[in-house]
Amino acid sequence: MISRRKFFTKSSLGSLALIAGASSSNAKNKDSATDTKLQFSTSFPVVMAPRHDGCEIIWSVTKLSKGHIEYGTTKELGSKASNDGWGLRPAGDKVIKIRIDGLKPGTKYFYKAVTESFDTKNPNPKDSAVYSFRTLDPKSDNCSFSVWNDTHKHKDTLDKLSDITKPCDFLLWNGDICNDWHNEQDVINTLLKPADGLTMSINHPLFLVRGNHDIRGAYATKLQEYCAMPEGKPWYAFKQGPVAAICLDTGEDKSDDNPYLFGRVACEPMRQEQAEWLAKIIETPEFKDAPYRVVFCHIPLRWTNETAERSYDSYSGRSRDLWHDSFVKWGAQTIISGHMHQDALIQSNAEFPYAQLVGGGPKINSATLIEGKADKDKLHITCKNLEGKTLHELSLKPVQ
Ligand SMILES: [Fe+2]
């Protein structure tokens, strides 16, 4: 794999070079710097919430502007996504977000984002470079994924993770991407340009699972405006090849009425709503018959020491009490989480027939990269430190 940081440093390619998973310093500048003619800047167009039939593409702008996506199965593009579903062209003064529908499963698409000023006499359309992504394919024989967690804006960790994360079907950012949201621009910068203009979605479309810090701070409600979720809620399910994934939001690590939370959160009804949704989704044919069954959520649902007194939840018993029976009924094989800033693997047992894998912390020497690879014989999941040393491994056989 080309190291993107090295590539940025060494590349001398021309202006339209960021195609099909490679990147260039020129393209980085093109999509990150201020355009002197327009007097505003745009960021890399991030591909989020991939589906078998589409995705959403999001980029930041620094002035009120409208935009569209041109896309197609060749570099010539040819199709256009240019409505917001409310009878308007997609527009924004901080972020432009466009949903693309009607794509084919398991297909590579090229795309570029076009941004225009609202000055009708002088719209000055600005094209991003051409990038690519692949839609999910529930019928594929294989699945590959990567998981980051608890990056908490640690630049060195994000840079290193960006370097070592290989191209895969999806990258799942498993919560605590921030240190609470104290201003709106921080939401945009952290989500859409977390690592010095690099982007996490060049080689892998992005799923976000919120962590407890991601719902903290006066500007926490802005995250839902600027990110995309496949079903419009912070919980969702999807299938890539033989792997069925259920992504849940464990919410805060304290009760809703804890004084520390200043009456801002309403996680208890959210967990209950997820319990009702979960009981239904596991009965759908796609999930009921899936060979591999994985749950992603930020706060672990099991922990190595569940009796220790803490001022926060080391495991989300509040969630587990509501969701456990559905996990057992479904045959969930493992939960993948973060939160504790301490990696761990807790094997399944009679009481909890699902393993619990927990990624590490935000500091570069405690951070981890979790990777999964599935084919018809096994789903193999590794948790490595950023030097590449394997800390935990899990090999799962398909559910019969
Ligand atoms: Fe964290």
CA separation for the pair 373, 16 (Å, rounded): 32
pLDDT at position 122: 79
The β-bridge relationship of strands 131-134 and 108-117 is antiparallel
The candidate with the shortest Cα–Cα distance to 76, out of 50, 112, 33, is 112
Q: 150 C-alpha to center of ligand 1: Å?
A: 4
Q: What is the pLDDT of residues 239-295, one digit of tens each?
A: 999 999 999 999 999 999 999 888 889 999 999 999 999 999 999 999 999 999 999
d(C-alpha 305, C-alpha 299), whole Å: 14
pLDDT of 9: 30
Cα 250 to middle of ligand 1, angstroms: 13
Query: Domains of the chain, with CATH numbers?
Result: 4-134 (2.60.40.10), 143-396 (3.60.21.10)
Amino acid at 329: K
* Spacing, Cα 214 to ligand 1 middle (Å): 9
- How many A from CA of 176 to the centre of ligand 1? 5
Q: How far is the CA of 182 from the centre of ligand 1 (A)?
A: 16
Q: What is the pLDDT of residue 158?
A: 93
CA of 340 to the centre of ligand 1 (A): 7
Q: How far is the CA of 152 from the centre of ligand 1 (A)?
A: 7
CA of 369 to the centre of ligand 1 (A): 15
In the reported structure, the alpha carbon of residue 225 is separated from the centroid of ligand 1 by a whole-number distance in angstroms of 22
Of 210, 131, 132, 136, the residue nearest 170 (C-alpha): 136
pLDDT-flagged residues of the chain (< 50): 1-30, 197
Dihedral, CA atoms, 82, 84, 88, 89, nearest 10 degrees?
-30
Please give the distance, rounded to the nearest whole angstrom, from the Cα atom of residue 151 to the centre of ligand 1.
7
pLDDT in tens, 75-89: 999 999 999 889 999
Cα 376 to averaged position of ligand 1 atoms, centre (Å) = 34
Q: What is the pTM of this model?
A: 0.91
- What type of residue sits at position 348? S
Give first-to-last CA distance, the chain, whole Å. Answer: 35
**pLDDT value of position 199:** 59
- Residues 155 and 195: beta-carbon distance below 8 Å: yes
Which pLDDT score is estimated for 195?
Answer: 64
Query: What is the pLDDT, as a whole number, of residue 4?
Result: 39
